[in-house]
Amino acid sequence: MSGVLWQMVDHRFTKAHASEYLDGELSPPERERVERHTSVCPKCRALLASLRRMIETLPTLAAQPRPSVEAGVLARLRRDG
């Protein structure tokens, strides 16, 4: 396989596993793959940067999976039902 094709495969892999990478859920070889790819791919570097910023600015997101809009809908459903 040519280098360009490998880069496409790594590109897909990196996009698919970006959040796992940031969460430290990837195995060492997988992390290495993501890091090697982001060093040559500005798009994936930007993707990781924006994901990381999102994680940092919304630290309670994981603890509160339900947005307030959805909570309001549920409350209304409960009241009407």
Q: Which residues bind Zn ion (CB under 5 A)?
A: 11, 41, 43-44
* Assigned token pair, 36: 């090697």
Q: State the nearest-atom distance from the C-beta of 3 to Zn ion, in Å.
A: 14
Q: State the nearest-atom distance from the C-beta of 41 to Zn ion, in Å.
A: 3
Q: State the nearest-atom distance from the C-beta of 14 to Zn ion, in Å.
A: 5
Amino acid at 30: E
Other Cβ atoms less than 10 A from the Cβ of 36: the count is 13
* Assigned token pair, 1: 């396989």
Using the minimum distance from each CB to Zn ion, give the nearer residue, 36 or 43. Answer: 43
